[in-house]
Structures are given as C-alpha cells and as structure tokens.
A and B are shown apart, each in its own frame.
Chain A
Amino acid sequence: MALDEALLDRSIRGENGSVLLRVYRWARPTLSIGVNQALDAEVAERCERRGVEVVRRITGGAAVYHKQDVTYCVVAPRAQMGVLEAYRWVAGGLIAGFSALGLDATIGQHPRDQAGHIRGNGRTRLSACFATTLGADLEVNGLKVCGSAQVRRKGWFLQHGSIPIADVRSETRELLEHPEEDHSSTCLERLRPGTSWEQVAESLVAGFTQFWGQPSTLSGVDSYLSDPPARDELA
C-alpha cells in the first residue's frame, strides 16, 4: 500500500497522466486500517500474537482483514468526477470483472446512515469494512462482496478495494473482538467455489480494460499484475 501511495504521488507530480490499476495479494495475513481509525492496543496485541501484520491505509473507511483476498488499487485523474461518480466509474470496471467470472455484481444501495463509523477518542472507531455496506460497495445476491475506500488529493483520486476469496468473517470478528456477527457479506468461495486468485485478478484486469476501453474523457489504461508486494509499514 506504500507503493499505491507512491503511485498517487507520482501522478500528482505529473509523472504519470494515465489511469493505473494495480491488483495484488499479501505475503502475510494483514489487517489494514483506515487512515483515521484508532488502533486499540488489544487489537494490535492480538494481531501480533497471531502473526497478523497491521498497516494503515491512506484511504478512509473501516478495517479490512487481507487473507486470501484480491486487493486492487486504482489511481485516476478526478476529471469532472465527484466522489460518487468516481465510485461508479471504478465500479463499472469491477462489475465487468465480476461478469467475466459469471457473477452479477451490483452497486450497494444501502442508506448512508447504515455506516459503521462511530467516532471516538480523536479517531474513528475500529469497525470492520465487510460488516457494513455503503453505496460505494458491490454486492452479489444482496451480500457485500467488494468493499472500497477512496482518497482524493490535488486533482487525483486513489481507490482501494478488497474482494475476499475465502470466508474470513469469523477471524475478522475475533481479531477486532466484535460482538455482532457479519451476515451482510459473502466471499467468492461461497459464490463460485474453486475460484483462484489468478482468475479473479485476470478477470479484473480484463473487466477494467473492457470498461475503460469505451469512449471516455479519461484515456489510457496502464495495468499490470504484480507479485506479492513488499512489506508495508504501519505509518
């Protein structure tokens, strides 16, 4: 994720003018927390005991447990897009990617007051991303299958997202010690048994390329699949 921020900075500096898509997985199970989320000492200790890395994203939103998931990062010029338009624009590529896997994904239509963010102690509460659905998320059969978060800086935006392959809801709940069970999300293992990381990654790249290949005010797709990235630092 440090590389993602570097890509955004590079674009802001004018060293890249095109849309970037990065698809990756994690070398070790990792909890990524939102830029303003508080990291409880108990959660940090629990993660350390279990060998789970913790990183802080530059994007907002809630905690995501990356274990057998497909993580994506899109860096693109804001152009004329507001926050919602940018989400919808990225969702077009994602939906095309899901379609390549034979899955009919739609944009979540949940009302904004269902957000799981409650503020406390100068930061936002450490809630789990997949336990809540916002209008920026994707669903299959009414269950959240892709959570996303955005940061907007100087004419550009960066969007992170995670698509779980394996069901890590129980582990996430244990890590964050959440009392509520997550009944609102699902994973590819349930929707499409046997789906591999490579299949998802290739479908996403194909979907994004197909979607962005249509006439658009934004031109050019610079995409690549990467190996597991280097260890991220907890900023």
Chain B
Amino acid sequence: MSIVPLDLRYTREHEWARLEDDGRITVGVTDYAQEQLGDVVFLDLPDIDEMVEGGEPLGEVESTKSVSDIYAPVTGRVVEINTECKDNPAAVNQDPYGEGWLLVIEPSDPTEYEGLLMAEEYEEFLEEEGAEGEES
C-alpha cells in the first residue's frame, strides 16, 4: 500500500508538490511511483534557473526497470536541485517525501498549485490504476 501524505498535492504522472512558506514548490515522485520503478539508479534533472512548463517533462528517472519522464507539476523557474539525491538516487526509494525530494520551482503563476490533485483525489486516481493509497 502506497503512502499519500495529506499535506501535499499530486499529479497524474505520480509527482508530489509541496507549497513552501516562501511560495516556492518542492517536487518529488510519489511512494507509488518509486514502488513501481524499483531501485532508482539515475536522475537527470534540469539546471538551476531553467524554465519548466507544467505538465511537460523536466527530466528523467532511471530505475532498474524503466526510464520514465519526470513532469513539472507547475510552470516556473528551477531554483534548487537536490544534488545529494542526484548523487544517491536510492533516497527516492528510501524516503520519497523527505530526503528523496528532487527540485524546487518558483512558480510563474501561484494559483497553478491549487489545480493539482488533492491527496484524496490522487488516492482515487491510484485506485483507478489498480493500486491503493494510504493517507498519512
């Protein structure tokens, strides 16, 4: 059963987003995604200051089973990259909502975040995909 924290927002591509106090948005992949991917071995992430577009690929995550696009939850500028996670991609598996965060985006439109899936909606989406989520 995958963990779905209540205080985050989600995409249908299995990324999570957290609105920080300063308006920036931290992004990672969900517990369900890391379970599906298997051991993550490589992360291809954008550079600082790069502009990313909501719903479009911003990088790739490679696991022992698959190479998958990572999609930007919102449009904006990349202001921070988790370089420790790049060096130790296993953190995505070990702690997807903590040490396994991937990057921080400064959103162009602060209201875009509100359009992302709530935890309950993401859980419903997981059920449609045949998986189950567990709120935390």
Contact = CB atoms under 8 A, between A and B. Distances in A.
Interface of A: 34-36, 58-61, 80, 82-85, 87, 112-113, 115, 117-119, 123-124, 134-136, 149-154, 157
A123 B43 CA distance: 9
Given A83-B68, A135-B65, 14 more contacts: A35-B62, A59-B67, A60-B64, A60-B66, A82-B36, A82-B129, A84-B65, A112-B38, A112-B64, A117-B41, A123-B42, A135-B38, A149-B66, A149-B67
Nearest to B128: A80
A84 B130 CA distance: 12
A113 B44 contact: no
Contact of A119 (B38, B42, B128): B42
A115 B39 contact: yes
List the 10 closest pairs (A to B, CB-CB), nearest first. A60-B67, A115-B64, A150-B66, A117-B41, A82-B36, A151-B67, A152-B68, A36-B42, A60-B62, A83-B36
A83 B65 contact: yes
B131 interface: yes
B89 interface: yes
Contacts of B42: 36, 60, 119, 123-124
Contacts of B32: 82
12 contacts: A36-B41, A36-B42, A36-B67, A60-B63, A83-B36, A83-B38, A83-B63, A123-B42, A124-B62, A135-B65, A150-B67, A157-B66
Contacts of A61: 64
A136 B64 CA distance: 9
Contacts of A117: 39, 41, 64
A83 B38 CA distance: 9
Nearest to B69: A153
A134 B128 contact: no
B66 A152 contact: yes
A154 B64 contact: no
B39, B67, B69: residue with the most chain A Cβ atoms closer than 10 Å: B67
B128 A124 contact: no
Contact of B67 (A35, A85, A87, A113): A35
B37 interface: yes
B: contact size bracket: 20 to 34
A139 to B, nearest CB: 16
B90 to A, nearest CB: 9
Contacts of A136: 65
Contacts of A150: 65-67
Contacts of A134: 38, 64-65
A36 B65 contact: no
Nearest to B56: A154
A120 B130 CA distance: 36
B64, B89, B128: residue with the most chain A Cβ atoms closer than 10 Å: B64
A135 B129 CA distance: 20
Contacts of A59: 67
Contact of A82 (B44, B67, B131): B131
Interface string B45-70: 00000000000010010111111110
A134 B57 CA distance: 27
A83, A150, A151: residue with the most chain B Cβ atoms closer than 10 Å: A83
A180 B36 CA distance: 29
A144 B129 CA distance: 30
Contacts of A157: 66
B67 A58 contact: yes
